Structure 1
């Protein structure tokens, strides 16, 4: 049987991923957990098959999917459709990997990081958070995976120069992004309050969530401690409190990540108040209500077991629910 041309083969895979995404969405918004992970693993396997089946000699790019997307002209409805389909996968994948760790998922040869880096996939066009922040979260997840791989191979903690260098680079990138976004927000607030301002505010909160993530999954391993500096938690909390309630639903991931790492009762009260205000103003909470359930469990575990470390992963394990924070 003659193989399909590259473009047709990629589109066939993407159409299948679209069907899976619809099923996944139904599960994500059902009750506390749903069976979304079954569908996401299936989507990863489909995209892995697409990338590994096409011989390198039959394409000019390392990614078959990226090549088909890049060959479509700007303004072509097929390009926009393909961008949306790819982003739907990336969104869930970034959230899943950062929330639960890459070791939880089957390998996937589709590397979407170059698409985020080049702005070919602009996540801000779909859910508000800029692609540069999504890319950094992805790099943090991969760094955690690298550390765990070396730990497993050597049966000891991996704190070599490579890990330290990448960790330092990510800290610098996040610092630069936070400063740049802060300046963008100041400039946009003085001119108008449109979609660009919304995206900048959402992206800044995600960036501070990423700073907390980096502290939690990498820094404790390097420093042999699990105490989390509250500086970024407090800044993220302040940004969340200042965010218009209509946008809070776009920040379920940083809301939950930072909330779980909040250590004081006064912080806990403020995180609860954010969701209360959203509901009082009759705005859609999105998945933030699930995030608050995870936070409450994390705080409860910490009260019951003083001196022990508890984060969102431990809280979800205690709840028996792997919540995807869309």
Structure 2
């Protein structure tokens, strides 16, 4: 049987990816704990097959999917359609790998970081958070995965200076992004209330959430600290409190990540009040209500065991639910 041309092969795979995405969405937004993870593993396998089935000689770069996307003109409706299909996968994958750890998922040869870095995929056009922040969250998840893979090995080359270098680089990137976004918000807040301001405010909250993620999943390996510095938890909490309630649903991931690491009862009360304010103003809470359930379980476990080491992963394990924080 004659093989499909490369572009047709990619599009056939993307159509299958769209079907999986629809099933995944139904599971994620159900009132019950759905089997979204089964569908996401399937999506990773489809993309892995697309990338590995096409010989290197038949592509212009390391990613055949990126080749097809970038070959389409900017105004072409097919380019927009492909961007949406790819982003639907990226969105869930970044959330899944950062929330549960990349080691939880099957290998996937499709590397979407170059698409986020170059702006070929602009996550802010779809869900508010800027691509550069999304990319940093993904890099934190990948660094955690590499660290876990190298644990116990005799060769400490990666876990020593190289690991510290990558960790410091991520910290510096987040500091720069946060400073830039704060300046953008200050410049826009007095002159506009449009989508650019919304995206900047959402992105800043995600960036502070990424700071907390970096501290939780990476820093203890370096410093062996048992408690979490509350600086970025408090900053993120203040930013979410100041956010228009119509936008809170876009911050379910940082809301949950930072809320789980909040240590004081006064912080816990403020995280609860965020959802109350959203509902009082008749706005949609999105998945944040599931995030609050995870927080409450995390806080309960910490009170029961007098242990600061409980986080969102332990809370979800206790609940028997792996919640994807869209």
Same fold at TM > 0.5: yes
How would you bin the TM-score normalised by the shorter chain?
A: over 0.9
Residue aligning to 1:241:
241
Aligned 8 A contact 1:32 1:290 in 2 = no
Could you say if the C-alpha distance between residues 310 and 157 of structure 1 is closer, same or farther in structure 2, counting changes exceeding 3 Å?
A: farther
> Partners of 1:155 and 1:314 in 2: how far apart?
30
CA RMSD of aligned residues (A): 1.3
Task: Provide TM-score, normalisation by structure 2.
Answer: 0.98
Compute the displacement of 1:226 (Å). Answer: 2.6
In 2: Cα distance, 1:132 partner to 1:32 partner: 33
Q: Residue in 1 aligned with 2:145? A: 145
1 CA distance for matches of 2:225 and 2:268? 23
Summarize the alignment of residues 190-209 of structure 1 with structure 2, pairs less than 5 Å apart. 190-209=190-209
Q: How many residues get paired?
A: 326
More moved, 29-38 vs 193-202: 29-38
Q: For the residues of structure 2 that align with 1:217 and 1:32, how far apart are their CA atoms?
A: 28
Superposed displacement of residue 191, structure 1 = 1.2
Q: Corresponding residue for 1:71? A: 71
Q: CA deviation at 1:309?
A: 1.2
Mean Cα displacement is larger for which, 153-162 or 254-263?
153-162
1:141 shift after superposition: 0.5
Could you tell me which residue of structure 1 aligns to residue 274 of structure 2?
Answer: 274
The structure-2 alpha-carbon separation of the partners of 1:32 and 1:309, relative to structure 1 and needing over 3 Å to count, comes to farther
Cα distance, 1:199 vs structure 2: 0.2
Q: Does 1:8 align with 2:2?
A: no
Structure 2 match to 1:125: 125
User: Residues 8-43 of structure 1, C-alpha deviation per residue, up to 9 Å, x if partnerless?
Assistant: 000000000000000000000112521000000000
Q: In 1, are the aligned partners of 2:116 and 2:131 still within 8 Å (CA)?
A: yes
Q: Is the 8 A contact 1:32 1:321 kept in 2?
A: no
What is the distance in 2 between the residues matched to 1:10 and 1:137?
A: 27
Which whole-Å deviations, capped at 9, do the CAs of 1:166-210 have from their partners, x for residues lacking one? 000000000000000000000011211100000000000000000
What residue number does 2:34 align with?
34
Is the 2:51–2:63 Cα contact (8 Å) retained in structure 1? yes
Distance 1:154 1:80 in 2: 48
> Structure 1: which 5+ runs fail to align?
none
Does the Cα contact within 8 Å between 2:150 and 2:159 map onto a contact in 1? Answer: no
Q: Are 2:282 and 1:288 equivalent residues in the alignment? A: no
- Distance, in Å, in 1 between the alignment partners of 2:56 and 2:188 is 45
C-alpha spacing 1:196/1:4, structure 2 compared with 1 (3 Å): same
Q: Is the 8 A contact 1:157 1:221 kept in 2?
A: no
Once residues 157 and 248 of structure 2 are traced to their aligned partners in structure 1, the CA distance between those partners, rounded to angstroms, is 38
CA distance in 2, matches of 1:184, 1:98: 27
In the alignment, the residues of structure 2 paired with residue 298 and residue 32 of structure 1 have an alpha-carbon distance, to the nearest angstrom, of 20
Q: 1:125-157: CA deviations, max 9, x gaps?
A: 000000000000011001001100110434999
TM-score by length of structure 1 reads: 0.98
CA distance, structure 2, for counterparts of residue 110 and residue 54 of structure 1? 12
Match of 2:314 in 1: 314
Alignment correspondent of 1:222: 222
Moved over 2 A (4+): 152-159
Match of 2:212 in 1: 212
Matched, 1:134 2:105: no
How much does 1:228 deviate? 0.6
**Structure 2 residue aligned with 1:187:** 187
